[in-house]
Structure 1
Amino acid sequence: SLVAPRHTDCNAVLKGLQPVFQEQGMTETIHNWEDHGYLATYINKNGSFSNLRIYPHGLVLVDLQSHSDDMKGRDEIDHLLNKIEEKMKELFHSSIKRVKRLPAIVRGEAIDRYWPTADGRLVEYDIDEVVYDEESPYQNIKILHSKQFGNILILSGDVNLAESDLAYTQAIMGSGKEDYTGKEVLILGGGDGGILYEIVKLKPKMVTMVEISFQQMTIHFNNTAYSSFYVLDNLKGECYQVLIEDCVPVLKRYAKEGRMFDYVINDLTAVPISTSPEEDSTWEFLRLILDLSMKVLKHDGKYFTQGNCINLTEALTLYEEQLGRLYCPVEFSKETVCVPSYMELWVFYAIWKTRTEV
């Protein structure tokens, strides 16, 4: 793309760039919209084609699509783009405000490398291997290997966690400010095993982890920081137990039995991206989990959970509004952490029951 001065002579730009495409033996089709500039398409015999869009306000766009697996084909594409860029600079001389050339978007390959961030930006990962790709009864589970981030767990198209992301686990555990020694801990979800692995090292009295998908739990990362070692070998140990169940009936059962925990860690789902909580069943589920968790949380206990991307301010505000609708009054604090594989800043919440003097 190129940004030239306003009131650009579209016809002069078109005539200046035409020879570049004609040298490649490309067939030309031109659409003229009078006050709205030109669209020219150029088609090559090998199936590649280019769109040239020229706007009167000074924006010139060139999109090139090609199917080529060999280096010669890629060199030809680079040569054409170089010629177009050189010609544009020649046409506009020093009056060009900006020239921007983007890397190629590769479509249709066996390994998908493009995944959206929570706030809707497209990120290209350096994926070089599909480690795992299967459907569970609840979601699609992928593990893709990244050169930068190691194995990345992707659940139903959402980047969940990578071997690089110890910062996520530390944040959802309180960022090293909590003493788990001798404490009762409840983990909701946490199927990658990272939270369980880290807490067990801190000598708690008992950690109970409730994960609905056994399939997700048995797919472990090779990095020791995110190895589901305990989960894979045994579902029960000296200071932990793993329940393969839906957490809602488990929470209801614990509340009825009067079982209480020092810490409840919710690693089930991020804050919904929705502006209508009353119309979104995900918000209802979130409030249900919050209410049930408060019922099994000790008076001086803490509830930890992820929020969402820091840019989703409206969704985060809605979440904080939900905290005022629980059966008991609560207070909260939040922390923003950079999670490497997310490529965005992520918000985490600590929530506790309001401490009133008796």
Structure 2
Amino acid sequence: MDSMKKGWFSEFGQLWPGQTFSLECEEVLFQGKSPYQEVLAFRSKTYGNVLVLDGVIQATDRDEFAYQEMFAHLALCSHPDPKKVLVIGGGDGGILREIAKHQCVEEITICEIDQMVIDTAKKFLPEMAKGFDDPRVTLFMGDGCAYLEQKKNEYDVIIVDSSDPVDGGPAETLYAAPFYRHLKEALRPGGLVCTQAECQWIHLNIIAELIRFSRNLFSHVEYAYTTIPSYPCGQIGFLLASTGDSCKTPKRTIDESLNKYYNEEIHNASFVLPSFVRRAIYKDENSQ
């Protein structure tokens, strides 16, 4: 295992050349190769259990809530009354756990391609994977793009919890314009999508391209972010694309006692970007 040496896991990725993030490993819990990717789970010394896909950290016990809560609640609180929600990816179950906090949601469908990810999360990250236990959840095993092609005018909110767009990886097609057209077609009037949109410190070119073609499809396209120490540069972003109103101000609130990270103030603040980011991804500051 190239990423595990002398008791330390080190994350090397083609999307963040010249840097790495390392965690001291106490025990390798699982290692396997699915038809789609390499799956690793280990117990770290300071971050609890860790899920890794193709050498890239997806979740840790210590900080996963900063990602899961912001991903789910930025999207759901930006819709006035979400009833049907689709999650593409997210096989660890964390997004499902957060969606389940919204009692107005009647149906939650998750489309995940890799059964090994689900099984590994259920065994080693049970506090996240308990999202699968909600009775409103329906699991569809398969490719997210193919699933979306069959869906028209069906969902209020779609959340795309994908891995990074590595060449040849399972998420590569999820960062292309045709996929976003399918996302829009699957939305009900006033619906919105929220997708994983990379790191503002090292992926401005990817973010700018996502925003460029999404603006041709949606009424409002906005970038927000959260802090999370186990992700590259300690930050990860979300692209919110709406066929209705802006997502910068929540339309609904959620009981803050249910969360560790998300609240109404941080919803608003997450869209406030450094000047260099705003100039790079929006090109025209006056339009945002």
What TM-score results when the alignment is normalised by the length of structure 1?
Answer: 0.58
Aligned residue number for residue 58 of structure 2: 160
Q: Which of 84, 88, 92 is the matching residue for 1:184?
A: 84
Aligned to 1:142: 40
Residue 206 (structure 2) aligns with: 315
Structure 1 residue runs without a partner (length 5+): 1-105, 275-280
Secondary structure of 1:148's aligned partner:
coil
Residue 161 of structure 1 and its aligned partner are, at CA, apart by: 1.7
The structure with higher relative contact order (CA 8 Å, sep 6+) is: 2
SS in structure 2 of the partner of residue 145 of structure 1: strand
Deviations 1:131-173 (A, max 9, x none): 1110001110011222222112111111212222111111211
Cα contact 1:181–1:202 (8 A) shared by 2: no
Stretch moving more, 124-133 or 205-214: 124-133
**Bigger Cα Rg:** 1
Distance in 2, matches of 1:132 and 1:339, equals 24
Question: What's the secondary structure of 1:341's corresponding residue?
Answer: coil
Asked whether the 8 Å contact 2:113–2:142 carries over to 1, the reply is yes
Q: Is the 8 A contact 1:174 1:304 kept in 2?
A: no
Matched with 1:261 is: 155
Instruction: Choose the corresponding residue for 1:200, options 100, 105, 114.
Output: 100
Write the distance in 2 (CA, Å) between the matches of 1:110 and 1:152. 17
Alpha carbons 2:23, 2:44 under 8 Å: kept: yes
Counterpart AA for 1:307: A
1:177 CA drift (Å): 3.4
Task: Quote how far apart the aligned CAs of 1:110 are.
Answer: 6.5
SS of 2:150's partner is helix
Deviation at 1:225, TM superposition (A): 4.0
2:229 match: 340
Q: Is the 8 A contact 2:51 2:121 kept in 1?
A: no
CA contact (8 A) 1:273 1:315 kept: no
Alignment deviations for residues 259-278 of structure 1 (CA, whole Å, 9 cap, x no partner): 411100001233x479xxxx
Q: 1:64-103 CA deviation, whole Å, 9 max, x = no partner? A: xxxxxxxxxxxxxxxxxxxxxxxxxxxxxxxxxxxxxxxx
2:241 maps to: 351
How is 1:99-248 mapped onto 2 (pairs within 5 angstroms)?
Answer: 109=5, 111-116=7-12, 118-120=15-17, 121-163=19-61, 164-175=63-74, 177-178=77-78, 183-203=83-103, 204-220=105-121, 222=124, 225-226=127-128, 228-229=129-130, 231=132, 238-248=135-145
Q: Percent identity?
A: 21
- Cα deviation, 1:3-34, whole Å, max 9, x if unaligned, reads xxxxxxxxxxxxxxxxxxxxxxxxxxxxxxxx
Counterpart secondary structure, 1:349: strand
Partner of 1:331: 220
CA-to-partner distance for each residue in 1:297-351, whole Å, 9 max, x for gaps?
Answer: 12211101111111122222122222145xx344211112111311521111111
Aligned residues: 233
Q: 1:219 is paired with a residue of what secondary structure?
A: helix
Which residue identity does 2:54 align to in structure 1? S
Structure 1 residue 302 and structure 2 residue 214: aligned?
no
Query: Could you state the TM-score of these two structures normalised by the residue count of structure 2?
Result: 0.71
